Amino acid sequence: MSATPHTSVPQHLDGPLPMTLPRLAERKCLGEPIVMVTAYDYPSAQVAQEAGVDVVLVGDSGAMTVLGYPSTIPVSTDEMLMLASAVRRGLRTPLLVGDLPFGSYEASDAQAITTAQRFVKQAGCDAVKLERGGTSVARARAIVQAGIPVMGHVGLTPQTATALGGYRAQGRTAERALEVARDALALQEAGCFSIVLEAIPAAVAHALMPRLEIPVIGIGAGAATDGQVLVFHDLLGIYDGHAPRFAKRYADVKAQMVAGVAEYAAEVRSRRFPGPEHAYSIDDDELERFRADL
Ligand code: KIV
């Protein structure tokens, strides 16, 4: 550890205001695009904070990007809570949404409320996200009625990708597009404050937008939505697993990290690191005494 960790982000009186649900709704009304990104730890949260994003999602995509699982299915609530708590410590103004992992909310309303409460109480999340329509609509309603804001997520829902035929775009037939639309409208009616549309044709999202009064965040859903979300590791080029076509890469951070560590390794092996500027000194007489006593 080369620096003392901060336990909280310093408050700046002249900085941006914290994002709230009314401010998010106002963004939609004003037609101002909403920026959402995932984060999974303290440094990625600080990056999101400093970059001025509006909403940070501790996505269960962290199962793959930071925990190395092959899909989002295995990640546990405890693992997600640890990631979300670290993100909380690095954030000040963006709205923090915690993703309810697979198996933590589907069984009953009581299970869904208990898990959502843990994200709020233990990790300091402002809201939670759950996937799918169907039985998730009742779970969303129950969590909202328990006083916790819920973000819905329809279209490609990775937790149930197997049932959807794999990681592929949804809503490419009229029937399936109608199912996606029904799910989105049902989640809105259940009280969700926002909804994610993932991997559906841009024209389907565009046609659906006039029916959705809540802020709609797209990922692979075209440009008509109220905002966009990308996975932190995809947009920065940190994760080298499969990247979907909608994941635009804005940097190549992994290559820079590998180059940095490789250069460090080369300097250690060639004894060019550490140099005198990285070493501590001791007064000559103290060193003399130490040598004599040694
Ligand atoms: O887990 C995640 O990162 C997500 C986003 C892709 C919306 O659900």
Residue-wise pLDDT for 209-262, tens only, equals 999 999 999 999 999 999 999 999 999 999 877 788 899 999 999 999 999 999
Output the CA 98–ligand 1 centroid distance in Å. 10
Say yes or no to pLDDT of 13 above 90: no
Upstream peptide bond of 274 is cis (omega within 30 degrees of 0):
yes
Question: What is the pLDDT, as a whole number, of residue 3?
Answer: 47
Output the CA 37–ligand 1 centroid distance in Å. 9
Residues near 137 by Cβ (< 8 Å), separated by ≥ 6? 183, 186, 187, 189, 190
Query: Confidence band (pLDDT; 50, 70, 90) for 12?
Result: low
Q: How far apart are CA 136 and CA 186, in angstroms?
A: 10
Strand segments, DSSP code E, in 5-129 are 34-38, 55-58, 95-99, 127-129
Residue 19 gets which letter from DSSP?
P
Residue 190 gets which letter from DSSP?
T
pTM comes to 0.93
For residue 227, what are the β-bridge partners? Answer: 34, 217
Question: What is the pLDDT, as a whole number, of residue 218?
Answer: 98
Q: What is the pLDDT of residues 143-167, one digit of tens each?
A: 999 999 999 999 999 999 999 988 9
Mean pLDDT of the chain: 95
CA dihedral 249, 66, 255, 240 (to 10 degrees): -60
Residue nearest to atom 8 of ligand 1 (CA): 59
Say yes or no to pLDDT of 139 above 70: yes
Residue nearest to atom 2 of ligand 1 (CA): 59
Question: What is the pLDDT, as a whole number, of residue 273?
Answer: 98
Query: Confidence band (pLDDT; 50, 70, 90) for 14?
Result: low
Say yes or no to pLDDT of 15 above 80: no
Q: What is the pLDDT of residues 87-102, one digit of tens each?
A: 999 999 999 999 999 9
Q: How far apart are CA 198 and CA 158, in angstroms?
A: 9
| Burial class of 209 by CB neighbour count within 10 A (0 to 12, 13 to 18, 19+) | middle
Residues with CB under 6 A from ligand 1: 38, 57, 59-61, 99, 153, 196, 219, 229, 231
Q: How far apart are CA 38 and CA 168, in angstroms?
A: 21
By annotation, the residues acting in catalysis are 198
Query: Confidence band (pLDDT; 50, 70, 90) for 16?
Result: confident
Is residue 155 within 8 Å of 179, Cβ to Cβ? no
Residue nearest to atom 1 of ligand 1 (CA): 59
